[in-house]
Amino acid sequence: MPLTFHNTYARLPDQFFSHQPAADIPAPVMLKLNQALADRLGIGAATLDNANGAAFLSGAAFPEGAEPVAMAYAGHQFGNFVPQLGDGRALLLGEVLAPDGTRFDIHLKGSGRTQFSRGGDGKAVLGPVLREYLIGEAMAALGIPTTRALAAVLTGETVWREEPEPGAVLARVAASHIRVGTFQFFYVRQDFEALRRLLDYAIERHYPQAASADVPALAFLGAVMARQAALVARWMGVGFIHGVMNTDNMAISGETIDYGPCAFMDIYDPGTVYSSIDQMGRYAYANQPRIAHWNLAQLAQSLLPLVPGEPEAAANALQGVVDGFPALYDGEWLAVFGRKIGLAAPAPEDQAMIEDLLALMADAKADFTLAFRHLTRALATDNWQDIEATLAAAPDFADWRHRWLARLGADRALAVKAMVGANPAFIPRNHRVEAALQAARNGDLSVFEHLLAILSRPYAEQPENAAFEAPPGPGEAVQATFCGT
Ligand code: AMP
Ligand code: MG
């Protein structure tokens, strides 16, 4: 199957991007190709798993019909507005249509300098590339909307970071790469014609129903908010901490994007931060819904010129939509955490019971993932040993259990089923991820492959891999994660 590109983004006006020539990459070698994803895209692994594929997916050579561009965007980074960011080390290779008609971007991260590189070298290195591959694929297997990894390609270069590292490129697939920051880019330039084009394009591609609304910009904002509320609630449900929720890292499509210093929490603590660059804890676990709300308010502001009427009335209308975020999020949170305790249709009164359990977990310094999985197994088998041990430091668990079982009633099988599908046994634990990356740096990809295979079935019982459920042992815990850019 040939690679057929549809370059709709490249048809937008010039301000949206800069055209990009092929990169000077000395020796591209395919390190890891995601065969299943290539098949899903209708590309066929055979098209890519060769020297041509390595050249295409690193940016060393462009396939016929591709019209690669570096996309322009702005963004708030840790609350500070930067009017021009853009693809400084990335490239939109083009769009492909999957056999089911869905349009996807193929995007290369680490393919070299662009017009947006500022001081950077435009490159990426092996560790962060494999990290994004692993965590993105784990998220996909967890059922959480995300960009996907199509390939990791070695460039044959040595790239200097803290120390010399093998250069690499990640080819990733996304519903699109339009970000909150893309809207901000045109808003801050007061290029309202381009802003209008961007809105029309984003609506057509992601929220076609908004086109026929009274005020498409308001309907679009509401639709983006609904997806972000659902997304962040799903993150919270698996203990995921994005780490860099800047407005340029929030996709309009509602997919998780830009895996940098992200991490999954081990011990449950709402204040958990891993990212070494997040000194103030702005993007701590429990802050994520608030930050999503704040980011969406920035999107709303950028949409102001596209809402008809007096500016004040338009601003009020946008504010009215944005103000709906907490309620949207609370509903999604309740649905996610309700399932985690076996309630397929939780009621608002159930919120207190969920919060009480989380408080017990915090008191006991319980491992977030393991506690819910043990609770699931306890309900399934009526053996309460493991969960009691996990929450031993929280003696009120016996009371909680009593309330919970009363709430579940007789039909425990249904509750167990909900819980098995909502409480993963296997998440990309930081110490396992680090071990996989370290082995890969030493030329051994087998640890990565093994971990990837385990994470592709996160909800399944895998007794042979039980060790991968375990939290880090003493001295194994990863304290901080790095962007590696
Ligand atoms: P990120 O924090 O990865 O979301 O990136 C923020 C901004 O920095 C984006 O505009 C990136 O393109 C840019 N950037 C990150 N790393 C590099 C690099 N090595 N070279 C050039 N630009 C970069
Ligand atoms: Mg980014």
CB within 6 Å of ligand 1 — which residues?
Answer: 85-90, 116-117, 120-123, 244, 248-249, 258, 260, 485
In this structure, which residues have their CB less than 5 angstroms from ion ligand 2?
249, 258
From residue 436, alpha-carbon distances to 31, 148, 165, 274 in Å are 14, 19, 15, 18
Question: 156: Cβ–Cβ under 8 A, 6 or more apart, which residues?
Answer: 25, 26, 27, 28, 29, 167
In one letter, which amino acid is 8?
Answer: T
Residue 301 has what pLDDT?
Answer: 98
Alpha helices by DSSP H, 304-455: 311-322, 325-340, 350-364, 368-381, 385-390, 397-408, 412-422, 430-441, 446-455
| Residue 453 domain flag | no
Domain boundary among 420, 452, 472: 420
Mind telling me the catalytic residues?
248
Q: Using an 8 Å Cβ cutoff, are 186 and 276 in contact? A: no
The sign of the CA dihedral 375, 377, 383, 387 is negative
Q: What is the DSSP string of 134-162?
A: HHHHHHHHHT--B-EEEEEEEEEEEEESS
| 286 occurs within a structural domain | no
Please, what sign has the CA dihedral across residues 269, 270, 271, 275? positive
Instruction: Determine the longest span between alpha carbons in the chain, in angstroms.
Output: 66
Residue 160: partners with Cβ closer than 8 Å, 6 or more residues away: none
Report pLDDT for 44.
Answer: 83
How many domains does the chain contain in total? 2
What tokens were used for 472?
Answer: 């880090």
CA separation, residue 208 to residues 199, 204, 397 (Å) = 11, 5, 48
The amino acid at residue 388 is E
Q: Which ligand is nearest to the CA of 117?
A: 1
Closest CA to 149 of 108, 115, 188, 185: 108
Out of 420, 454, 474, pick the residue that ends a domain.
Answer: 420
Q: Is residue 244 assigned to a domain? A: no
| 3-state DSSP helix/strand/coil % of the chain, to nearest 5 | 50, 15, 35
Q: Is 338 helix (H, G, I), strand (E, B) or coil?
A: helix
Question: Which residue has its alpha carbon closest to ligand 1 atom 16?
Answer: 485
Tokens 């697939």 locate to 173
Determine the distance separating the centroid of ligand 2 and the alpha carbon of 224, expressed in angstroms. Answer: 18
Residue 83 φ then ψ, to 5°: -65, -20
Residue 481 forms part of a structural domain: no
DSSP symbol at 240: E
CA of 255 to the centre of ligand 1 (A): 19
Residue nearest to atom 15 of ligand 1 (CA): 485
**Secondary structure of residue 179 in the 3-state scheme:** strand
Residue pair 245/292 in contact by the 8 Å Cβ criterion:
yes
CB 415 within 8 A of CB 226: no
**Nearest ligand, measured from the Cα of 77:** 1
pLDDT of residue 219: 98
| Ligand 1 center from residue 233 Cα (angstroms) | 27
Cα(337) to centroid(ligand 2), Å: 29
What are the strands, taking DSSP E only, across 6-147? 17-19, 29-33, 69-71, 75-77, 80-82, 90-97, 103-109, 124-125
Burial 203-215 (b: 16+ CB within 10 A, else e): bebbbeebeeeeb
In a domain, residue 474? The reply is no
Instruction: State residue 290's pLDDT score.
Output: 98
In a domain, 26, yes or no: yes
Handedness of CA 67, 73, 78, 82 (dihedral sign): positive
- Locate the ligand 1 atom nearest the alpha carbon of residue 123 and give its number: 19
Chain segment 365-395, per-residue pLDDT in tens? 999 999 999 999 999 999 999 999 999 888 8
Kindly state whether residue 240 falls inside one of the protein's structural domains: no
Instruction: Identify whether the C-beta of residue 96 lies closer than 8 Å to the C-beta of residue 172.
Output: no
Query: Of 110, 140, 174, which marks where a domain is finished?
Result: 174
Return d(Cα 333, Cα 289) in angstroms, integer. Answer: 10
Q: What pLDDT shows up at residue 275?
A: 94
Which regions in the chain score pLDDT beneath 50? none
102 part of a folded domain: yes
Instruction: Residue 166: give the domain boundaries.
Output: 9-174
